[in-house]
Amino acid sequence: MTYLLEARGVSKSFGGAPVLSDVSLSLAAGEVVSIIGENGAGKSTLAKIIAGIAQPDSGALTLHGSPISFSHPREALNARIGMVHQELNLAENLTVAENILLGREPTRLGALDRAAIASITRTALDRLSLSIDPNRLVSTLSTAQRQMIEIARVLSFNAEIVIFDEPTSSLSEEEGRGLLTLIKRLKSEGVAILYVSHRLPEVLEVSDRIIGLRDGKNSGEARAASIQRDDLIKMIVGREIKDIYGYKARKHGESALSLKDFKATAWHAPTSLSVRRGEIVGVAGLVGSGRSELLESLFGVTIPESGSIEINGAPADITSPQAAWRGGMAYVPESRKEQGLILDSSIRENIILSDTRSPQSLALRQSAQEDIESDALISQLGIRCSSREQRAGSLSGGNQQKVVLARCLSTKPSILLLDEPTRGVDVGARREIYSLLFKLAEAGLAILFVSSELEEVIGIADRVFVMCDGEIRGELSRERLSEHAIMSLASHHSQVAA
């Protein structure tokens, strides 16, 4: 096979710590090659090197058989290599057209050529079958629409190589299916796709070849048609994990959290539900069904319209996150980077951020005690870091998520709220997080979580509430859990009792 792109012996270190060591890959026109590996394995770093965002310390890249070296992403785009990032890289205050042509706006007689801008933008959108108004502000678009605009921007450079980094992590099941369909169409048009993802079913469906990375080194390569999911997991973590969930039934205690006629927003219907001590309860539904808003209101991020909350059988007045912390609740938000972490602060500083003790108590605390508590949580959650003082923003996505969990556990909550607890997290870290949740439930914590991944909901929940259009449309006991049962409630107006 004649390869369009080759990387040979690529190595990269940050701050003296090796991230990639002698890594190689190849990519042909009209081929989808997926890169899999644990958080911190070097997948995104390799993708960024190919896209010109980072430069290798050693090794070589070739395009059409000729050596290439990029010092800036624009150079890679000009060479027809583009990257669609997990954290979308768009200017929200600009229009669709302005984002697609940002920095290369056509001019005529010294002024912007509006006709050319409209033509180029329309061509890019038509290629993706998008009917979005080019003059619409990006801030008004959904996550899926924004992602499509970023893809349109890359394709407007007539890209022959497109890199996708965790492209479905923020999409619903239906939106994710649409993206995979698009990737297959681009492949049929001869576009080469480099696909980075933790979602193994997607990898198996869309890939021609799969390349594994482990600890910054090549850990294997296989044709997608000839490898099984369990073999992929072994390629990622170096050992077999037959059941990544490890669900075990446990005894449930008295009610820890109870909502009665709780109306999160004016749009939501009144909601009544309860979570018992030792119970893990899921909230499923399509994106836009109101799941995240329910958790935000419950935690005091927004003030509910009406209804009541009881914690451990006593009425609770949750009017702020601080009140929620004092009431024994902890919350892992959907976006760890925007809502869960201070990226420029250390792991230790992030862990103690939600300490609910009084300011006087905090002022008297010795730094040594903070170190002990931080180290204990780092060890308990298996956070991979050089030290407690490492900057949180330098960690991989999975380890950042563990820091958010550590911050929550530092307050010793009785109720844990989780919004997309394993988004962008590899299979090994997922197994560790699931194991932790089961241990916490076994110790008596009540856990209420939101997830867009049906397999995850079915894998860890004792019960599931399904939302649609701001309303709980049904409750499913574990015995009745299935993707069909959840989707039937999530997309229709019939109500089903447990």
What average pLDDT does the segment 251-262 reach? 95
**Is it true that 5-237 and 255-491 share their CATH fold?**
yes
pLDDT per residue as tens digits for the range 56-81: 999 999 999 999 999 999 999 999 99
Round to whole Å and give the CA distance between 489 and 272.
Answer: 17
What average pLDDT does the segment 390-410 reach? 89
CATH architecture of 5-237: 3-Layer(aba) Sandwich (3.40)
How high is the pLDDT of residue 360? 43
- Rounded to 5°, the CA angle 151-157-162 comes to 50
Q: Classify 443 in phi/psi space as left (phi over 0), alpha (psi -120 to 50) or beta.
A: alpha
Burial pattern 218-243, b for ≥16 Cβ within 10 A else e, equals bbbebebeebeeeebbbbbbeeebee
By the 10 Å C-beta count (0-12 exposed, 13-18 middle, 19+ buried), 301 is classed as: middle
Q: 364 pLDDT exceeds 60?
A: no
How high is the pLDDT of residue 143? 76
Q: 365 pLDDT exceeds 70?
A: no
- If you count them, how many residues does the chain have? 498
What average pLDDT does the segment 85-104 reach? 85
pLDDT exceeding 90 applies to what percent of the chain? 54
* 255-491 belongs to CATH 1.20.210.10: no
pLDDT exceeding 70 applies to what percent of the chain? 95
What average pLDDT does the segment 481-492 reach? 84
Rg of the chain's alpha carbons, rounded to an integer?
24
Round to whole Å and give the CA distance between 478 and 268.
Answer: 26
pLDDT per residue as tens digits for the range 104-128: 888 888 888 888 888 888 888 888 8
| Main-chain phi, psi angles of 128, to 5 degrees | -100, 10
Check the CA dihedral 183-185-187-190 and report its sign: negative
Check the CA dihedral 338-342-348-351 and report its sign: negative
Q: What is the pTM of this model?
A: 0.69
Q: Structural domain boundaries of the chain?
A: 5-237, 255-491
- Rounded to 5°, the CA angle 47-54-75 comes to 90
Where is pLDDT greater, at 424 or 442?
A: 442
